[in-house]
């Protein structure tokens, strides 16, 4: 009996796979933990940027409620746009730091040195550092019980290094925006929430003098004139945003053209107010689908086509059909007949025609996008929960309209994604108006 027991191999593979399975679980778990740490650091970086921006403005306006230097603040006091899932983030701020990567210059643009010949460096207004600890879900089994992370942001004040800006919105208010996205939330509601988040971020640079202008041009089958907000020296109010509603078709050209027309006036307005002849210009353009009016068109081009060896022949074109004859008929002269002489096989240049989808509205809108980009406008294009049938055309259109798909084109499949995209763009805009150095 014992001899049979030791010779029996039944179930051995189950043990092998059991051991392998443990390894796979640990590997997958480790990948999850690494991803979570990366996510935590990204959130910490956004919080550090918020803290540094707020601190720099507070210093300039001598705000009594500013962040105190050296004091530790919890995440909920830092203005972070996302939840801290680690429940550990804290931030501190330091003021008037020498920036040894940026030597000071005099009014003539020459580098400044002290009496001993040493370079004199610029001072930053604020450096914010946000740190935290992530408790691993899986690799704790390997003895790693915590992972520290940290993010730092240095900020210089806008009056010294930034530029005034015009920030316009062209937003889709078509009937499809009344439908629900992949998370079951009405898309028009998600748009309103996302734009309000953007305004909260923009309020970080709101101060006594006029720095930025905003405008709103909602559209469906046309520009929705009753809901337009023409350029003004403040953020869009909740009232302005809440007026948006979903109805009608999708045609973006007129709204884009109105934004382009208004952008062309902004240089003179900013020059009069801020002595800035070339203000920053941003367009946030959002749509949840392709423009209406899609049709097909025939596109022809010359291609090298292999033509096999052929006999002499005549092709009669009659009532939409072609008939081939291999000998001449006397009546050919009365009809549309093409003659093909005998030939050896080989490549020949022939016109090849194909049918493709085509949107005249897209073409007209893209002309406006190009004109704005040539006028210095940075265009962020957001495609939101586009249906599968329209996805390719809508994405190609939005990417082409944007100032570059790698940075300026965004896709959001849910309302949460849309809000994150708006916050990301808002942070990017603020960082250009108040320059975040690192």
Least confident of 122-126, 181-185, 246-250, 285-289: 122-126
Mean pLDDT of 394-420: 93
Q: Which residue has the tokens 């062309």?
A: 264
Rounded mean pLDDT of 418-426? 93
- For residue 161, what pLDDT is reported? 45
Assess whether 281 and 210 both reside in one domain.
yes
Q: Are residues 273 and 396 in the same domain?
A: yes
Dist CA 356 CA 97 (whole Å) = 59
Tokens standing for residue 176: 């499809």
Both 334 and 237 in a single domain? Answer: no
Question: Which of 156, 174, 205 is where one domain is finished?
Answer: 156
pLDDT greater than 80 at residue 265: yes
User: Which among 222, 208, 111, 216 has a CA at the least distance from the CA of 170?
Assistant: 216
Whether 23 is covered by a domain: the verdict is yes
Question: Which of 71-80, 117-126, 142-151 shows the highest mean pLDDT?
Answer: 142-151
Q: Are residues 78 and 218 in the same domain?
A: no
Strands 90-103 and 346-358: unpaired
Point out the least confidently predicted range of 17-21, 87-91, 345-349.
17-21
pLDDT score recorded for residue 230 = 97
- Give the model confidence (pLDDT) of 332-377 as tens digits: 999 999 998 887 777 777 777 777 767 889 999 999 999 999 999 9
pLDDT higher than threshold 60 for residue 61: no
What is the spatial distance between Cα 410 and Cα 418, in angstroms, rounded to a whole number?
A: 9
**Cα distance between residue 50 and residue 431, in whole Å:** 10
Inside any domain, residue 328 = yes
Assess whether pLDDT exceeds 80 at residue 87.
yes
Q: Which of 299-308, 316-325, 328-337 has the lowest mean pLDDT?
A: 299-308
H-assigned helices in 61-130: none
Residue 7 lies in a domain: no
- Which contiguous run of DSSP H or E holds residue 107? none
At residue 306, what are phi and psi to the nearest 5 degrees? -75, 125
pLDDT of residue 3: 66
In a domain, residue 1? The reply is no
> Does residue 96 lie in a domain region?
yes
* Domain termination site, one of 156, 183, 211: 156
State percent of the chain over pLDDT 70: 85
337 located within any domain: yes
- Return the SS3 of 86: coil
For residue 438, tell me if it sits in a domain: no
> Residue range 401-419: average pLDDT?
93
Among the three residues 335, 358, 381, which one is the final residue of a domain in this structure? 358
185 in the same domain as 252: yes
pLDDT for position 267: 94
CA distance 70 to 76: 17
| Cβ pair 400, 294 in contact under 8 A | no
Do residue 375 and residue 258 come from a single domain?
Answer: yes
Counted domains in the chain: 3
Higher pLDDT, 59 or 68: 68
CB of 237 closer than 8 Å to CB of 203 = no
pLDDT at position 159 over 50: no
CATH number of the domain bearing residue 178: 3.40.50.410
Q: Do residues 347 and 393 both lie within one domain?
A: no
- Say what the pTM is: 0.60
Cβ–Cβ < 8 Å for 382, 375: no
Lowest mean pLDDT among 30-39, 57-66, 77-86, 218-227: 57-66
Considering the domain architecture, whether residues 119 and 64 belong to the same structural domain is answered as yes
Question: Residue 98 is encoded by which pair of tokens?
Answer: 């020498």
Question: Residue 70 is encoded by which pair of tokens?
Answer: 């050296």
Average pLDDT score over the chain: 84
Strand pairing of 321-325 and 409-412? Answer: unpaired
In 203-285, alpha helices (H): 238-242, 253-274
User: Is the per-residue pLDDT at 57 higher than 80?
Assistant: no
Average pLDDT over residues 292-315: 78
Q: What is the 3-state secondary structure (H, E, C) of 284-313?
A: EEEECCCCCCCEEEEEEEEEEEEECCECCE
Is the pLDDT assigned to residue 16 strictly greater than 60? no
Residues 189 and 143 in one domain: no
The answer to whether residues 60 and 94 belong to one domain is yes
Same domain, 176 and 261: yes
Range of the domain at 43: 13-156
**Residue 80: predicted pLDDT:** 66
Whether 26 maps to a domain, the answer reads: yes
Model pLDDT, residue 8: 59
Question: Do residues 288 and 411 touch, judged by C-beta distance below 8 A?
Answer: no
Q: Which helix (H) or strand (E) holds 421?
A: helix 415-433
- pLDDT, mean of residues 420-424: 93
Please tell me whether residues 113 and 174 are part of one structural domain.
Answer: no
What are the tokens at 237?
Answer: 């109010």
CA distance 316 to 327: 12
Among 25-29, 185-189, 385-389, which range has the highest average pLDDT? 185-189
Higher pLDDT pick, 310 / 8: 310
């Amino acid at each position: 009996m014992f001899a049979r027991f030791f010779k029996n191999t039944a179930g051995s593979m189950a043990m092998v796979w059991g051991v392998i399975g443990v390894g796979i679980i640990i590997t997958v778990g480790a990948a999850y933990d690494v991803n979570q740490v990366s996510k935590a650091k990204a959130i910490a970086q956004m919080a550090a940027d918020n803290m540094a921006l707020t601190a720099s403005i507070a210093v300039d306006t001598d705000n009594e409620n500013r962040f105190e230097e050296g004091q530790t603040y919890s995440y909920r006091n830092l203005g972070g746009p996302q939840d801290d899932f680690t429940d550990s983030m804290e931030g501190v701020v330091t003021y008037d730091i020498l920036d040894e990567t940026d030597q000071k210059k005099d009014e003539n643009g020459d580098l400044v040195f002290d009496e001993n010949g040493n370079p004199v460096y610029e001072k930053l207004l604020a450096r914010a550092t946000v740190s935290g600890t992530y408790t691993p879900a899986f690799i704790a089994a390997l003895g790693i019980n915590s992972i520290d992370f940290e993010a730092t942001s240095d900020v210089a004040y806008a009056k010294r290094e930034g530029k005034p800006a015009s920030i316009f919105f062209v937003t889709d208010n078509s009937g499809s925006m009344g439908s629900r996205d992949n998370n079951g939330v009405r898309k028009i509601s998600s748009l309103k929430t996302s734009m309000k988040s953007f305004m909260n971020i923009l309020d970080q640079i709101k101060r006594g003098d006029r720095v930025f202008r905003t405008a709103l041009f909602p559209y469906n089958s046309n520009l929705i004139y009753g809901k337009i907000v023409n350029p003004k020296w403040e953020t869009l109010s909740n009232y302005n945003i809440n007026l948006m509603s979903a109805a009608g078709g999708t045609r973006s050209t007129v709204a884009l053209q109105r934004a382009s027309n208004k952008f062309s006036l902004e240089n003179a307005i900013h020059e009069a107010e801020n002595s800035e002849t070339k203000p920053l210009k941003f367009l946030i353009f959002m749509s949840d689908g392709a423009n209406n009016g899609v049709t097909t068109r025939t596109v022809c081009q010359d291609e090298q086509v292999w033509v096999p060896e052929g006999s002499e022949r005549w092709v009669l074109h009659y009532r939409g059909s072609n008939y081939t004859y291999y000998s001449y008929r006397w009546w050919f002269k009365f009809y549309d007949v093409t003659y093909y002489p005998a030939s050896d096989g080989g490549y020949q240049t022939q016109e090849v025609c194909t049918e493709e989808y085509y949107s005249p509205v897209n073409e007209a809108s893209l002309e406006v996008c190009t004109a704005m980009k040539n006028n210095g406008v940075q265009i962020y294009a957001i495609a939101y929960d586009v249906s599968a049938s329209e996805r390719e055309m809508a994405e190609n259109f939005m990417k082409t309209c944007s100032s570059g798909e790698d940075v300026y084109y965004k896709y959001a499949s849910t309302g949460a994604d849309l809000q994150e995209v708006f916050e990301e763009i808002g942070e990017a805009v603020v960082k250009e108006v108040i320059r975040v150095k690192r």
